[in-house]
Amino acid sequence: MFRFIATALLSAIAASSTHAESTQSVQAGTPRQPVIAENYMVAAANPFAVNAGVDVLANGGTAADAAVTVQTMLNLFEPQSSGIGGGAFMLYWDASEKKLITYDGREKAPASATPEYFFGEDNKPVKWWDAVVGGRSVGVPGTLKLLEKVHGQHGKQAWSDLLLPAIVNAEAGFEISPRLAASIASAQKRKLDLFPATRDYFFNEDGSPKEAGTYLKNPLFAQTLRNIAANGSAPFYQGDIAAQIVEAVKTEVNPGELTLQDMADYEVIERAPVCFAYRAYDVCGMGPPTSGGLTMGQILTMLEQHDLPAMGPSADAWHLYIEAAKLAYADRGLYMADSDFVDMPDGLLNKSYLSERAALIDPEKAMGKATAGNPPQKSAMRFAPDTQLERAGTSHFSIVDQYGDMISMTTTIETGFGSRVMTNGFLLNNELTDFSRVPEKDGLPIANRVEGGKRPRSSMSPTIVFKDQQPVLAIGSPGGSRIINYVTQSVIAILDWNMDPQTAVDFPHVVNRNGNTDLEENTTATELEPALAALGHEINIRGLNSGLHAILVSDGKLIGAADSRREGIAAGH
């Protein structure tokens, strides 16, 4: 079923791997060990979600079945990051058909939205946080319909059974984790307690944030899921839940424009994957409206000419990576947006073009801020660069089932706790703030400006790597516009530096988004500062809280990893 990658890698980690069926809850910052399984595996951001997904697989379910359970459990246990009030991108490898399918469940702007959607009374764009809080930032959610579509095409188990774990836990209650408690407390100063339903759920009667260990029940979410279990997504997009979502976004502060027609018109789109060769592998990701696959492709293609395996994670290798990232992010800012609305260049992954771009990299000196290139394109349409960067949020999970199917899914409500608007027991996204609030610059339109029915640009980078036409790695991460860096670096660490997945996802981060270079604080990455500064890089030392979850196929085994920066685990059998 699975093909060989590296017997030596498997042997090296076997002695230290945790048992694949471990159910122990772990806290952020606790060291992890790689997990080995033979038949199936889930790696995700919460142990309860992971174990519920593993139970689905143990009972003969497919990766699609497990995804329904994992996502709804994440909605309950990690509500600040993802849920049915948000959107997602999924890569699905169908082993029986030997086919990779990508699903676009990204949120959409209301049909009435204009490029000036986020303008204030002074006819100027409002500040980012002023745009976030309230119903105006809410796009039509896509996650539920994505799950339903994927389950309909690839599922084996009853839809209603897959929602039952989240229903039972929502009704019985669960303990707030340390990470969720810290997130609640931090978000209070960002108006998490502004709206009554959200305040009542996350805060005590005296207004203090609920603490870790507090028992939390969500009967409204259980009721919502029971409705969906019985009737599918119809109530959510065309029925009573849809009506309540539309009503909920009519907030006194920053009201939105979603209508029942916007909800009813939503569709998940199957898009062509973005695939490119990297050494002996084929790396596949999502195309627009996310910039993840294309930007990763540009970075890796520019780096392929360098002997990164021999260089290892040295300052010289990181310098090359940083420079390639600058060039790719420059193209991202100018060209990448929802391709249903924008005529994007068709040559962003053209090897000749990227060879020219790579020639701009001086191994001895930083280039400063990069400018976008001129890739081959059919359209003469010109744009102004968009410098807006998405804030950190989101979640990711990877799944492999006993049939050989594989999922890499990145899922989000955008920034932590989304719009702060809650209805029916779940939070609504603030995804529309991923659009540029500035529609044009110097007389030129910005590709990622707001338009009616458009999907905002994302950096989500769910990825599946192939060798000899078989999937060998599923990986992805949360982290806003840094996601591309997190995932690309982990792919390099696994493919070029022969790291096991756990070492790779925990490896200290070096991030550049065409500006200053961020080195992850309290890690060995800070030791790179003198050498990189000597090459001309402007350095920031800061927290870089990825949430990478990976499953590697090696010599017929599954090796899972969960980012130690968060609370997730990998488990399987």
- Dump pLDDT digits (tens) for 377-425: 866 667 888 766 666 679 999 999 999 999 999 999 999 999 999 999 9
Total-model pTM: 0.95
CA 570-572-573 angle, 5° bins? 155
Q: In this structure, what token pair is assigned to residue 169?
A: 């836990």
Rounded CA separation 427/134 (Å): 11
pLDDT tens-digit profile of 272-288? Answer: 999 999 999 999 999 99
Rounded CA separation 357/368 (Å): 15
Please determine, for residue 568, whether its predicted confidence score (pLDDT) is greater than 50: yes
pLDDT tens-digit profile of 462-505? Answer: 999 999 999 999 999 999 999 999 999 999 999 999 999 999 99
pLDDT tens-digit profile of 184-213? Answer: 999 999 999 999 999 999 999 999 999 999
Q: In the chain, list all ranges with CATH 3.60.20.40.
A: 7-173+217-270+395-572
What per-residue confidence (pLDDT) applies to 91? Answer: 98
Q: Quick one: pLDDT band at residue 1, thresholds 50, 70, 90?
A: very low
24: left (phi over 0), alpha (psi -120 to 50) or beta: beta
Question: What is the DSSP annotation of 43-100?
Answer: EES-HHHHHHHHHHHHTT--HHHHHHHHHHHHHHHSTTT--TTSEEEEEEEETTTTEE
What per-residue confidence (pLDDT) applies to 540? Answer: 97
What per-residue confidence (pLDDT) applies to 458? Answer: 96
Region 7-173+217-270+395-572: CATH code = 3.60.20.40
What per-residue confidence (pLDDT) applies to 209? Answer: 98
Question: Across residues 168-178, what is the average pLDDT?
Answer: 97
**Among candidates 477, 447, 338, 325, which has minimal Cα distance to 387?**
447
What per-residue confidence (pLDDT) applies to 546? Answer: 96
Looking at CATH, the fold of the domain delimited by 271-358 is given as Serum Albumin; Chain A, Domain 1 (1.10.246)
Question: Across residues 330-343, what is the average pLDDT?
Answer: 95
Of 529 and 10, the structure prediction assigns the larger pLDDT to 529
Q: In the chain, list all ranges with CATH 1.10.246.130.
A: 271-358
Please determine, for residue 12, whether its predicted confidence score (pLDDT) is greater than 80: no
What per-residue confidence (pLDDT) applies to 144? Answer: 98
pLDDT tens-digit profile of 510-567? Answer: 999 999 999 999 999 999 999 999 999 999 999 999 999 999 999 999 999 999 999 9
Residues acting as catalytic residues = 394
What per-residue confidence (pLDDT) applies to 29? Answer: 67
β-bridge pairing 174-175 and 470-476: unpaired
Calculate the average pLDDT of the chain: 93
> Is the Cβ–Cβ distance between 17 and 34 less than 8 Å?
yes
Please determine, for residue 6, whether its predicted confidence score (pLDDT) is greater than 50: no
Phi, psi of 54 (to 5 degrees): -65, -40
Rounded CA separation 328/332 (Å): 6
CA 423-427-432 angle, 5° bins? 110
pLDDT tens-digit profile of 13-55? Answer: 443 344 343 444 566 667 889 999 999 999 999 999 999 999 9
Question: Across residues 149-164, what is the average pLDDT?
Answer: 98
What per-residue confidence (pLDDT) applies to 393? Answer: 75
Question: Across residues 93-103, what is the average pLDDT?
Answer: 98
What per-residue confidence (pLDDT) applies to 380? Answer: 60
What per-residue confidence (pLDDT) applies to 260? Answer: 98
- Within a 13 Å sphere around the CA of 171, how many CA atoms are in the beta-carbon half? 10
